[in-house]
Amino acid sequence: MGFGHEKLDVYKVALKYVAWVYNLCKRLKGMDRHARDQILRASQSIALNRASCLMQDCVYFCAKMISPLAR
């Protein structure tokens, strides 16, 4: 069973961007390694933030629906 974020177009595009950045970063060496590390972290953050937002929305929605039942 997968999570809902895996179906989102924005998440799929973000994963493609991570792959593109990874291939770009293979060419960065020496003094460029700090830039390489930063751009890799930033690209991964985009995809992870999209997944995190969806999960937070799901948790909020579930809590909102369960709360009246607990009374």
Per-residue DSSP letter, 67? G
What are the extents of the domains in the chain?
Answer: 4-70
Q: What is the pTM for the complete model shown?
A: 0.63
Q: pLDDT > 70: what percent of the chain?
A: 61
- Say whether pLDDT at 40 is over 50: yes
pLDDT of 45 strictly over 60? yes
User: H helices within 1-71, ranges in order?
Assistant: 9-25, 33-66
More confident residue, 70 or 43: 43
What does the CA dihedral 25, 28, 30, 32 come to, rounded to 10 degrees?
-80
> Burial letters for 4-27: b for 16+ Cβ neighbours within 10 Å, e otherwise?
ebeeeeebeebbeebeebeeebee
